[in-house]
Amino acid sequence: MKVIVYLPALNESETIGAVLDGIPSRFPGIDSVRAIVIDDGSTDATSLIAQRHGAMVVRHPVNLGTGRTFVSGVSAALRAGADIIVSMDADGQFRGEDIGRLVAPILEGRADVALCSRFADGNMIGNMPLAKRLGRKGKRAKTKPKYQSKKNRALKWSGRGLTPLWMRGEMKGTKLKKDDFLIK
């Protein structure tokens, strides 16, 4: 099983190297872990530093925004043969060591998709600035895990965070065009 971690990045030269170094190269039940940085028009050395730290880089010549970066990340991961795709911010606010916990429900067959919020567990906030942590403090009560029906087999946490997308079966035939998914 192959995990691809894609990291959208815009002018993250100060953090991208440490973030990439923090992504474990092995997880139980995973044969391969690879990082892909989607450089969304950075004007600093983000791409160069990412390459020096072993990541494949997909570079947008100009900033195209979150939606297009998502499409580029998922497309690159599928082309690279991903079984599990994890989206992780490049700014150091997430810890690579938490990826194993995040994908565990998928590997155990309890979920096909897991969405996570770093706010649901105070130990997962990484290097988030104090001002941002304090601003989110009142919202923590709303970020408890939510489980969908067994039929959908999706494990969700509300809010933003590390996001694994497990591609299997019909999802492998997904074609991405602009900001939409077209199922073939």
Tens-digit pLDDT profile for residues 53-66: 999 999 999 999 99
Predicted confidence at residue 95, as pLDDT, reads: 85
Going by C-alpha positions, the residue among 89, 106, 72 that lies closest to residue 161 is 89
Distance CA 93, CA 15 (A): 10
Is beta strand 32-40 parallel, antiparallel or unpaired with respect to 56-60? parallel
Sequence-distant contacts of 156-159: CB under 8 A, at least 24 apart: 156/113, 156/114, 156/115, 157/114, 157/115, 157/116, 157/117, 157/120, 158/115, 158/117, 159/117, 159/118, 159/119, 159/120
**Count of all residues that appear for the chain in the document:** 184
Cα torsion 114, 74, 53, 91: sign? negative
Reading the block at residue 59, the tokens are 């570079």
Q: Which stretches of the chain score pLDDT less than 70?
A: 117-184
Domains recognised in the chain with CATH numbers: 2-183 (3.90.550)
User: Within a 13 Å sphere around the CA of 4, how many CA atoms are in the beta-carbon half?
Assistant: 23
Distance CA 61, CA 127 (A): 28
